[in-house]
Amino acid sequence: MYYEIRQMPMTKMGEINLLVMCSEEVFGYVVGKVGLIANSLRTLLNIRAQLDQNKVNIKFEVL
């Protein structure tokens, strides 16, 4: 199982773009039917981003 998170270049001021890349066997667990892990990750990052007055965009891809 393999995953990687990269911060991509900003497109707008105060906007953070993250790319979450997972191996195929992990991707199903991360995104899944309900997407519990993906939604939890979004929630945590958005809480932190609000404290810093930023916005976070997260994109999930298979390696």
- The pLDDT of residue 35 is 84
More confident residue, 58 or 32: 58
Q: pLDDT tens across 1-33, in order?
A: 678 999 999 888 989 999 999 999 889 888 888
C-alpha distances in angstroms, 46 versus 18, 28, 62? 12, 22, 23
* Token couple for 19: 């790319």
Provide CATH code, domain 3-62. Answer: 3.30.300
Length of the chain, in residues = 63
The domain ranges of the chain are 3-62
Rounded (10°) angle between helices 36-51 and 24-31:
70
- The pLDDT of residue 19 is 95
- The pLDDT of residue 63 is 86
Q: What is 13-47 written as a DSSP string? A: TTEEEEEEEE-HHHHHHHH-SS-HHHHHHHHHHHH
- The pLDDT of residue 1 is 63
